[in-house]
Amino acid sequence: MIEINNLTAAYGKKQVLKGISLESERGECIGIVGPNGCGKSTFLSIMAGVLKPASGSVYYYGKDALKNPIVFQKMTGYVPQENPLIPELSVYDNLRLWYPDRTELKKELQEGFLQLLGIGEFVKKPVRKLSGGMKKRVSIGIALAGMPPVLILDEPSAALDLVCKEDIKRYLQIYLEKKGTVVITTHEESELSLCDRLYVMKDGRLFPVNRELRGTALTAKF
Amino acid sequence: MNRTFILWRLEGKHTIKMLPAMFADALFLLGILGMVALGAAKLFLRDIPAVQITVALVEEDENPLTDMALNYVQGMESISESCRFLQVSKQEGFTMLQEGRAAAVVLLPGGVIEGILTGSNVPVQVYFPENAGIESALLKELTDAGVRMLRIAQAQIYGIYDTAEEYGALERLSVLETEVDRYNLAFALDRLALFREREISAPGELSMIEYAAASGGIFFLLLLGMACYPMMQPYSAVMRKQLAREGISVCAQCFGKWLCGLCCMGTGGFCFGLSVKGLTALSGYAYLFPKVHGERLAVVLMSGTVILLCVTTFVFLIFQAAGNGTAAILALFFLASVMMYFSGGFLPSVFLPDIVRRIGEILPTTYLIEAAGSMYTGTLSAKTAGVLLLYTAGFGIASLAAGRRMP
């Protein structure tokens, strides 16, 4: 379903990703951990079509996304570290941008994923008046516009309180139950517990972590 | 609906929401401009010379009598307001003349005052530069007038003496001289009769107040860009990337923001015009506002459009190049003030140093003030409109380039 081959990326002379390959099946949750600045966000940005790699290929459901960028739009939802919101506009207006169909948006707010995220409670508020947790929920709601089969999240719980972290974990569980695929970078143990497969990124390469040895391997790495 | 149109529609909604805040900011700006205008009015409406002429004085012989006479002349209010005398050596005086630091060099020979008292009249030499500027021309005019006055006065003194001697009335000489002095002061030496009186205006066809209104309007529009920051400032990096991912190009993002800025500036400029019209009408100075009916309406609309396009695109470029709102506001205030100064927006360019004038000639603000002035004269030159449209295109291309270079 997701097929990434020999992905490389560089910022100037600095090689950030050195031939990363990854495969994933439907309904799987893949976690990526690693120290700050190791290239996790760059990797996810390439997976979401925000950045272009120096070389390599990205396939979703057998379609070459790098050759046809619309595949990224259709197949992936991306939650970056910062929230892609216009602060002066209301939550509803921000959602309108990503949900072009007004009827679909209303339906989502009443009985869809947006309702699960609890966005309906503050949909009329301007974004600048929202808490960090609320903004993150709106960001996830935006990423889920059109229900893409792959959800890519870049440290979604960073700088959020415990309740918000638990809420986000719950939403991800529901998404996974609906056979969505999640690729997540995180430092949170609770989110790592969701992952079916875990990778450590180091020196621009991905190293798989054995499920049984997960705790010790991670401890050893950091 | 196409996502790009949704974005533009949302930006439009955003703009409407921000208008009250923008008007509040604009009112604050108007307050500042009002204070500047009041100060400028006090400066311009005073009946004092706008230029002070520097004259190099060279005394060939040190003479206390000459010094006393010079101190007396320099102390006269009418002289001290228009002239600044510097006592220098002969060589230094001519160097100053060559470098344009002095409008004239006056060579005072030894015994000049004694000569006046005895009637021997030792000539005073006055040197002007070959390509005399406005100061030198004015000083030459003043000197010639003074020479004519002295010549008439001396001819009268000799005439009275000869007449009194002829008729044996030398004992009444002092009475006759007093009478002639009275007539001279009352009629013959009326200074205005010796000068050609011609009213000229530094800003050309416009009156000083019209010029101030035109440049004030442009300065207001430029500063209004600061109040438009919520609409004009670029999206956050993450938002830009997300929009691009969804197929909304940098060009479409920029166009939406520029369009909202244009609407804001247009609304702000229109309201500014209306409030100025209202204020001038209420205070009995309605004639100060340009007539906007009949044939003049087309010129006002054309000028307004090119001004609005150019100013909005310029402001947009600053926001794109600066990358964030705060830096853009500071840059805009600084650039607007400097450009207006160079273009003669605060003081007509004829009063500015040559180098400032030359730089001002290539700045868009010069053409913007000209276009604003055309609302009074009723004629917008093709050159002014063309240059402003070229500037608009240039600013637009540069804004796009800046938008593409953002991380």
User: Is the Cβ of A89 closer than 8 Å to some Cβ of chain B?
Assistant: yes
- CA-CA distance, B18 to B265, in Å (whole number)? 12
Write the pLDDT tens digit of every residue in A158-167.
777 777 788 8
User: Is the Cβ of A72 closer than 8 Å to some Cβ of chain B?
Assistant: yes
What backbone torsions phi and psi does residue B406 show, to the nearest 5 degrees? -65, 145
Write the pLDDT tens digit of every residue in B109-165.
877 777 776 767 778 888 888 766 666 776 777 677 667 767 777 788 888 888 888
**Do the Cβ atoms of A48 and B245 come within 8 Å?**
yes
Q: Classify residue B262 by burial, with Cβ atoms within 10 Å: 0-12, 13-18, 19+.
A: buried
Q: Please, what is the Cα angle at B63 between B58 and B65, to 5 degrees?
A: 110
**Minimal C-alpha gap between A87 and chain B (Å):** 10
Please report residues of B whose CB lies closer than 8 A to that of A84: 236, 238-239, 241-243
Q: What share of chain A has pLDDT > 90, as a percent?
A: 29
Q: How many helices (H) and strands (E) does chain B have?
A: 17, 4
Q: Which of B3, B13, B244 sits opposite A93 (nearest CB)?
A: B13
**Minimal C-alpha gap between B230 and chain A (Å):** 8
User: Is the Cβ of A129 closer than 8 Å to some Cβ of chain B?
Assistant: no
Residue A183 pairs in a beta bridge with A30, A152
Q: Which of residues 43-62 of A touch B (CB under 8 A)?
A: 45, 48-50
Q: Classify residue B3 by burial, with Cβ atoms within 10 Å: 0-12, 13-18, 19+.
A: middle
Split at pLDDT 50, 70, 90, the class of A133 is confident
Two tokens, residue B191: 């200074």
Pairing of strands B83-87, B53-59: parallel
Two tokens, residue B402: 């800046």
Two tokens, residue A79: 């939650």
pLDDT in the model for residue B44: 57
Residues A190 and A169 sit within 8 Å (Cβ to Cβ):
yes
Split at pLDDT 50, 70, 90, the class of B190 is low
Split at pLDDT 50, 70, 90, the class of B65 is confident
**Do the Cβ atoms of A84 and B10 come within 8 Å?**
no
Please report residues of B whose CB lies closer than 8 A to that of A100: 1-3, 6
Write the pLDDT tens digit of every residue in B350-378.
777 888 888 988 999 999 999 998 888 88
For B231, nearest residue in chain A (alpha carbons): A88
Instruction: For residues B325-338, give the mean pLDDT.
Output: 89
Does residue B306 surpass a pLDDT of 90? yes
Please report residues of B whose CB lies closer than 8 A to that of A88: 14, 17-18, 230
User: Is the Cβ of A41 closer than 8 Å to some Cβ of chain B?
Assistant: no
Average pLDDT, chain B: 81
pLDDT in the model for residue A220: 43
Instruction: For residues B13-31, give the mean pLDDT.
Output: 81
Q: Which of B22, B238, B240, B264 to mutate to test the interface with A (most CBs of A within 10 A)?
A: B238
b/e burial code for range B99-116 (CB count within 10 A of at least 16 → b): eeebbbbbbbbebbbeeb
Residues A76 and A105 sit within 8 Å (Cβ to Cβ):
no
Please report residues of B whose CB lies closer than 8 A to that of A80: 238, 241-242
Who wins on pLDDT, B177 or A28?
Answer: A28
Amino acid at A69: P
- Helices B3-45 and B250-282 cross at an angle (nearest 10°) of 40
pLDDT in the model for residue A222: 42
For B244, nearest residue in chain A (alpha carbons): A50
Please report residues of B whose CB lies closer than 8 A to that of A45: 241
Split at pLDDT 50, 70, 90, the class of A217 is very low
**Minimal C-alpha gap between A54 and chain B (Å):** 17
**Minimal C-alpha gap between A212 and chain B (Å):** 37
**Do the Cβ atoms of A80 and B3 come within 8 Å?**
no
Q: Which of A72, A88, A89 sits opposite B245 (nearest CB)?
A: A72
Split at pLDDT 50, 70, 90, the class of B255 is very high
Q: How many contacts (CB atoms, under 8 Å) link A and B? A: 56
**Do the Cβ atoms of B242 and A50 come within 8 Å?**
yes
Torsion, CA B226, CA B231, CA B232, CA B235, rounded to 10: 130
For A69, nearest residue in chain B (alpha carbons): B245
Q: Which of A82, A93, A96 sits opposite B238 (nearest CB)?
A: A82
Please report residues of A whose CB lies closer than 8 A to that of B13: 89, 93
Please report residues of B whose CB lies closer than 8 A to that of A49: 245
Instruction: Please list, in sequence order, all residues whose beta carbon lies within 8 angstroms of the beta carbon of residue B225, skipping any fewer than 6 positions away.
Output: B232, B261, B265, B311, B312, B314, B315, B318, B319, B332, B336
Two tokens, residue B98: 């060559």
**Do the Cβ atoms of B245 and A85 come within 8 Å?**
no
Amino acid at A89: L
Does residue A93 surpass a pLDDT of 80? yes
Residues A75 and A180 sit within 8 Å (Cβ to Cβ):
no
